[in-house]
């Protein structure tokens, strides 16, 4: 079917808002993702530099090894629960995130939630393109004499070496992510786990320079009392915030599941186990930098640049490049592709949307701030503040208000219960707005600034409760859902 043809769902022709093949329910022949597909995807997502730096940020801000470990377990325990709970709908109905937003918000108001998610997705997209550039820069510097001297020539705040690496990274993304979801899946299967090879090698190096495992595990921190808890939850919400967008748009991935069992098993293996394991490995390497260099180095690429072997540095950087490409393709590219398509279904397809996303993502200017632990925790925490209430609304709507039932024909016909008031479900808009403001309250009101460390949790609680209260009548009288 061409992109210009109307899609028919059941007996109802798709309405104007969803009139796009990329927004139609995934047909059975396209549901090819097995348990291993999801395990590999989450391995690729878990094994990435951004996650490494966020985990290492615990150490950089003064936490001990075990304090950092407790924070990581807390963060990814929460992330796992959110992802699994929000995966069921996508796998059951084959619906993407933008379409689910139409169910909850109405076709007009849905664009508000989709736009917020799209902007954050583009930001992430730009960040990971920059990480690819960093890997390219390190790799080329290892094998080309004088490469680092190009940094003396400045272009838009970047050295010429960085600008060249950035251009190569953009070109690689165009090649990988603009050929559709199937190429992304195939690339992810082998590229995703590459960084684990580097991570394990650096962990072994750390154990060697520290004189064993015991010195790493016994490294103490200098945080205590109220200061510790503020830093602890700032880092926890930063780690959750880095995954908050994925918790919201995970239906974009699970809509391709062969069965519900496949996505549940794959994500159970690939998410909590791999994230915690990779984070522990990164903590080992980070603590090792204290023994080796006398200070905390949070970026694995910067650790490798201190090695004497150019071949080791080159291979390690190339592995990190492949893994980061796979991460960006499987997460941010997919989200941006479907979100932009959901905003402009009559004009954009998934492939066109991804191309636009690559270009727009440059404006995230990550070269000005990336790698600074406190800034990154604050930025990703703010993202969590917007995505927390949205996740809560999605879960309350699907499990409590709708009781896991969606009328696909009514949704795609553009009439009936999902039209709300001229395309606006005001209860969803109010809950989202109130939850978002509550999550940001610690940032807005100096007197309660300590609450900002808990912004994601506050957003989830307030957004979910407000949405439930505004829909109590529908919960008590399910027949109202059909009106």
Which domains occur in the chain, in start order?
A: 31-383 (1.10.4160.10)
Q: What is the pLDDT of residues 87-127, one digit of tens each?
A: 999 999 999 888 899 899 988 888 888 888 888 888 888 88
For position 305, what pLDDT does the model report?
A: 84
Can you tell me the mean pLDDT for 156-162? 83
Q: Sign of the C-alpha dihedral, residues 331, 332, 335, 338?
A: negative
Mean pLDDT of 412-428: 82
Q: Residue for token digits 């909850």?
A: 104
pLDDT tens figures, 178-225: 665 555 555 555 555 666 777 788 889 999 999 999 999 998 878 777
Specify the range with the lowest mean pLDDT, choosing from 67-71, 228-232, 334-338. Answer: 334-338
User: With bands split at pLDDT 50, 70 and 90, how would you rate the model's confidence at 321?
Assistant: confident
CA 200 from centre of chain: 23
Q: Note the pLDDT of residue 46.
A: 76
Question: What integer pLDDT is reported at residue 11 of this predicted model?
Answer: 40
Evaluate if residue 330 carries a pLDDT over 80: no
Per-residue model confidence (pLDDT) at position 77: 92
Name 277's Cβ contacts closer than 8 Å, sequence gap at least 6: 46
* Residue 437 pLDDT greater than 90, yes or no: yes
Question: In this predicted structure, what is the pLDDT of residue 397?
Answer: 94
Alpha carbon distance 104, 449 (integer Å): 32
Question: Which run of H or of E encompasses 12?
Answer: strand 12-13
- pLDDT at residue 1, rounded to an integer: 36
Q: Is the model more confident about 188 or about 317?
A: 317
Rounded mean pLDDT of 412-416?
73
* Residues of the chain above pLDDT 70, percent: 88
pLDDT at 417 over 80: no
Q: Which pLDDT belongs to residue 40?
A: 79
Among 23-32, 183-192, 268-277, 450-459, the minimum mean pLDDT is found in: 183-192
> In this predicted structure, what is the pLDDT of residue 400?
94
Rounded CA-CA distance 357/118 in Å is 9
């Amino acid at each position: 079917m061409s992109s210009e043809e109307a899609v028919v769902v059941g007996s109802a022709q798709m309405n104007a808002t969803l009139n796009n093949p990329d927004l139609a329910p995934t047909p059975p022949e396209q549901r090819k993702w097995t348990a291993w597909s999801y395990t590999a995807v989450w391995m690729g997502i878990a094994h990435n530099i951004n996650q490494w730096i966020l985990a290492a940020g615990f150490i950089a801000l003064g936490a001990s090894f075990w304090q950092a470990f407790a924070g990581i377990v807390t963060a990814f325990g929460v992330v796992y629960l959110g992802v699994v709970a929000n995966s069921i709908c996508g796998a059951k109905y084959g619906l993407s995130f933008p379409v689910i937003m139409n169910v909850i918000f109405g076709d007009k108001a849905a664009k508000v939630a989709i736009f917020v998610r799209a902007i954050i997705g583009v930001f992430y997209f730009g960040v990971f393109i920059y990480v690819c550039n960093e890997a390219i820069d390190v790799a080329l510097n290892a094998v080309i004499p004088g490469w680092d001297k190009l940094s003396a020539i400045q272009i838009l705040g970047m050295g010429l070496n960085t600008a060249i690496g950035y251009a190569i990274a953009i070109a690689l993304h165009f090649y990988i992510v603009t050929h559709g979801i199937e190429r992304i899946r195939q690339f992810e299967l082998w590229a995703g786990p590459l960084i684990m090879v580097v991570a394990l090698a650096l962990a072994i190096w750390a154990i060697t320079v520290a004189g064993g495992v015991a010195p790493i595990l016994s490294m103490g921190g200098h945080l205590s009392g109220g200061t510790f808890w503020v830093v602890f939850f700032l880092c926890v919400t930063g780690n959750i915030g880095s995954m908050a967008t994925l918790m919201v748009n995970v239906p974009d991935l699970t809509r391709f599941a062969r069965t519900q069992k496949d996505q549940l098993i794959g994500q159970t293996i690939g998410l909590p186990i791999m994230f915690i394991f990779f984070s522990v490995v990164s903590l080992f390497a980070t603590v090792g930098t204290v023994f080796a260099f006398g200070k905390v180095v949070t970026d694995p690429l910067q650790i490798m640049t201190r090695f004497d072997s150019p071949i080791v540095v080159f291979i390690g950087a190339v592995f990190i490049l492949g893994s980061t490409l796979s991460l960006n393709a499987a997460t941010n590219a997919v989200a941006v592709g479907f979100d932009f398509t959901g905003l402009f279904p009559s004009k954009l397809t998934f492939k066109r949307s991804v191309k636009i996303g690559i270009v727009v993502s440059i404006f995230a200017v990550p070269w000005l701030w990336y790698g600074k632990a406190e800034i990154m925790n604050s930025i990703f925490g703010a993202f969590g503040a917007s995505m927390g209430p949205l996740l809560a609304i999605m879960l309350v709507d699907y499990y409590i208000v709708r009781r896991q039932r969606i009328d696909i024909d009514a949704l795609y016909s553009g009439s009936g219960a999902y039209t709300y008031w001229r395309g606006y479900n005001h209860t969803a808009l109010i809950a989202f707005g109130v939850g978002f403001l509550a999550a940001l309250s610690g940032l807005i009101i100096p007197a309660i600034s300590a609450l900002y460390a808990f912004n994601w949790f506050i957003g989830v609680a307030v957004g979910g409760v407000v949405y439930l209260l505004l829909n109590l009548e529908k919960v008590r009288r399910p027949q109202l859902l059909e009106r």
